[in-house]
Chains A and B, each alone.
Chain A
Amino acid sequence: MTDVTHSAARTQSRTGQIVLRWLLYVILCLFAVYYLMPLFVMVTTSLKSLEEIRTGSLVALPREITFDAWKTAWSGACTGIQCDGVRPFFWNSVLIAVPGVLISTLLGALNGYVVAQWRFRGANIIFALMLFGCFIPFQVVLLPMARVLGLMGIAGTIPGLIFVHVVYGLGFTTLFFRNYYVTIPAELTKAAKVDGAGFLRIFWSIFLPLSLPIIVVTVIWQFTQIWNDFLFGVSFSQAGTQPITVALNNIVNSTTGVKEYNVDMAAAIIAALPTLLVYVVAGKYFIRGLTAGSVKG
């Protein structure tokens, strides 16, 4: 008798678990749809013709797939008076982001190495100040930065924008590398010193080869920051050096007459693709790198 009750209770609890599990899946699916919806609308809209957009529903699949909007967005859309599409601005962004990412990552690695492994008087204060730099709002530095760029003679140029992003990124990159290097035993540096290696030799031969996970994290972080930046891009650029985020804004806001939603959507997707790509390529290292240091390797 008791056996029967027990097994009945067990069956009941098992059914309960299955129901709960399915409920969970349903909720997760709803959230996934919620998050994917904008992307879906963007992609489908960019593949429709203007005519179809006007007459059809927002969420409907395109009746006829056309890449005209993509072509226009890439090389024909007008940003103000210029009608070359986003292409020149895309390359501007590449020219800003690639050196900006490389320089800020390398300097961050060196800074982190010094702060974590070559303790000197005031190292903690300097690190704290750099950390503080991470939390300064962009708007606060706009005017002083404009003045500095002017004094350096690189206002409105691509090197100027690289400089701004390197300076603003240093706080974060230093933080990443410092936290990574602080988990590496100091004895490693000592052993290398006894072996006769100097400051740069130890960095180059011992610390950099160890740093792949944190380099990936830093590169993703910096690339996303610099590529997606709008405020610095719009403030410190002039015609010809504007990054793609600024161009996107100009395309969307400066059209006259009929709004070409398909072109806008295509341009937006083009602007977002590189960051997506970086994350897809290096994503698995990103997770690894974020958790590195918390677990002893």
Chain B
Amino acid sequence: MAPILDIQNLYKNYGTTEILKDINVSIEPGDFLVLVGPSGCGKSTLLNCIAGLEPISGGAIHIGGHDMTSVSPKDRDIAMVFQSYALYPTMSVAKNITFGMKVRGIDQKTQTAKLEQVARQLQIEALLNRKPGQLSGGQRQRVAMGRALVRDPKLFLFDEPLSNLDAKLRVEMRTEIKELHQRLGASMVYVTHDQIEAMTLATKIVVMKGGVIQQIGTPAEIYKRPANLFVADFMGNPAMNLIPARTRTAGAGTEIEIDNKGGAPIILRDPHTSNLPPDVILGIRPEDIAEPGFRAAQSAQEAECLVDMVEPAGADTFVLTHLGGKQVTARLHSETEAQPGQRQKLAFDLNKVSYFAPDNGQRLN
């Protein structure tokens, strides 16, 4: 199938400042693409470019197989949900939802039918005569979604739609958006700075930094095989441990030596990876450091570390230690007896580690 959205070599400049550099993304119908990155990485600008609200400085945007590069927003067959919801303050909920149809000159009967359908779908029938000012944050969010849904577009665009909601509501609406996506099978592009939102919603994630795409992949790929140090650090909570280490070739595999605070260096063996440079940064997720005998993988290798701090978090207990001069977090089971200031045996699962070059931060394995 042809991609529903295809962005080719897109550049965006404001004066002499490059905001977006050589962006290439394409998604298939039904995909849920999440653009994620820290503030100022250009993700919202990219979304505005897709919508046609910002002109682009180079490249092309195709939507549904048509070249939309210089087409105005209203003719791109898109609908957009904004961070501030952008509901028209003087219009009732019903008028907000039907405004687009009214502008397009769609007949009254169709308008009413579509309004009813969307209102039922989002359970906002009771709110139709209210003004946006009389709605709660969650209700406004729903109305904004209704305004997008009623257009039945080829592509939905979401610009951080959940960041103005409180934590609990955010999780609820996240689930609802995901359910909506599954039920409609619609194609969506979603901007967020929240990596958990990205992981839970996306079928495809684009991680951006400074206007450059760092990695494109499924949530699992991004999580397990981050392309560079930035992605490794940005995605996942708590973040991936990034530990400076020295390597030696040992047979078909590699021997890894890590400085250990208050003890002899730890030696770990990775039988699967070879040809690493002598100095690397070892990336290991907190859940791949466990307590021996509890949730630790068969092949995990044990080492004794000094515990700096213990943070119980209900289901898990996070244990902080120092390796290679960096703070390292291990995700242990909740009944662990690890105590601050004592030495604790930890099991490192080397099957899932990543190696990065210290100089340019690129992935090595």
A binds B: yes
Interface of A with B (CB < 8 Å)? 185, 187-188, 190-197, 201, 205-206, 209-210, 297
Chain A residues with CB under 8 Å of B83's CB are: 187
B104 touching A185 by the CB < 8 A rule?
no
B88 touching A187 by the CB < 8 A rule?
no
Contact of A192 (CB < 8 Å), options: B51, B78, B84, B88: B88
B99 touching A210 by the CB < 8 A rule?
no
In the complex the two chains form, what is the Cα distance from A278 to B56 in whole Å?
50
Within 8 A of A (CB), among B55-89: 72-74, 78-80, 82-84, 86-89
Known A-B contacts: A193-B73, A205-B88. Give 14 more (CB < 8 A).
A185-B84, A185-B86, A187-B83, A188-B88, A190-B73, A190-B80, A191-B80, A191-B88, A192-B99, A194-B51, A194-B100, A195-B147, A196-B103, A297-B89
* Interface presence of B298 (CB below 8 A): no
A214: min CB distance to chain B, Å: 14
In the complex the two chains form, what is the Cα distance from A206 to B88 in whole Å?
6
In the complex the two chains form, what is the Cα distance from A191 to B89 in whole Å?
12
In the complex the two chains form, what is the Cα distance from A191 to B86 in whole Å?
6
A186: min CB distance to chain B, Å: 9
- Number of B residues with CB within 8 Å of any CB on chain A: 23
B74 touching A191 by the CB < 8 A rule?
no
In the complex the two chains form, what is the Cα distance from A25 to B26 in whole Å?
74
B100 touching A196 by the CB < 8 A rule?
yes
In the complex the two chains form, what is the Cα distance from A286 to B58 in whole Å?
48
B74 touching A196 by the CB < 8 A rule?
yes
| Residue among B83, B87, B90 having the largest count of chain A Cβ atoms under 10 Å | B90
Contact of B86 (CB < 8 Å), options: A187, A196, A297: A187
Given contacts A187-B83, A188-B86, A209-B90, A194 and B104 within 8 Å (CB-CB): no
B53 touching A194 by the CB < 8 A rule?
yes
B82 touching A190 by the CB < 8 A rule?
yes
Contact of B73 (CB < 8 Å), options: A185, A187, A194: A194
Chain B residues with CB under 8 Å of A185's CB are: 84, 86
Given contacts A195-B103, A205-B99, A187 and B82 within 8 Å (CB-CB): yes
Given contacts A185-B84, A209-B90, A194 and B78 within 8 Å (CB-CB): yes
In the complex the two chains form, what is the Cα distance from A205 to B83 in whole Å?
22
A201 touching B53 by the CB < 8 A rule?
no
Chain A residues with CB under 8 Å of B48's CB are: 190
Within 8 A of A (CB), among B159-178: none
Q: Which 6 A-B pairs have the closest CB atoms?
A: A196-B74, A195-B100, A191-B86, A209-B90, A187-B86, A187-B82
Q: Write out, one digit per residue, whether chain B residues 16-55 have a CB within 8 A of any chain A CB (1) or not (0).
A: 0000000000000000000000000000000010010100
- The chain A residue sitting closest to B105, CB to CB, is A196
B53 touching A190 by the CB < 8 A rule?
yes
A210 touching B90 by the CB < 8 A rule?
yes
A197 touching B53 by the CB < 8 A rule?
no
Chain A residues with CB under 8 Å of B84's CB are: 185, 187
A191 touching B90 by the CB < 8 A rule?
no
In the complex the two chains form, what is the Cα distance from A194 to B82 in whole Å?
11
Within 8 A of A (CB), among B300-345: none
B79 touching A201 by the CB < 8 A rule?
no
- The chain A residue sitting closest to B90, CB to CB, is A209
In the complex the two chains form, what is the Cα distance from A195 to B74 in whole Å?
6
Q: Could you list 28 examples of A-B contacts with CB < 8 Å?
A: A187-B82, A187-B83, A187-B86, A188-B86, A188-B88, A190-B48, A190-B73, A190-B80, A190-B86, A191-B80, A191-B86, A191-B87, A193-B72, A193-B74, A194-B51, A194-B73, A194-B74, A194-B78, A194-B79, A194-B100, A196-B100, A196-B104, A197-B99, A197-B103, A206-B88, A206-B90, A210-B89, A210-B90
Chain A residues with CB under 8 Å of B87's CB are: 191
Chain A residues with CB under 8 Å of B147's CB are: 191, 195
Contact of A194 (CB < 8 Å), options: B80, B88, B89, B90: B80
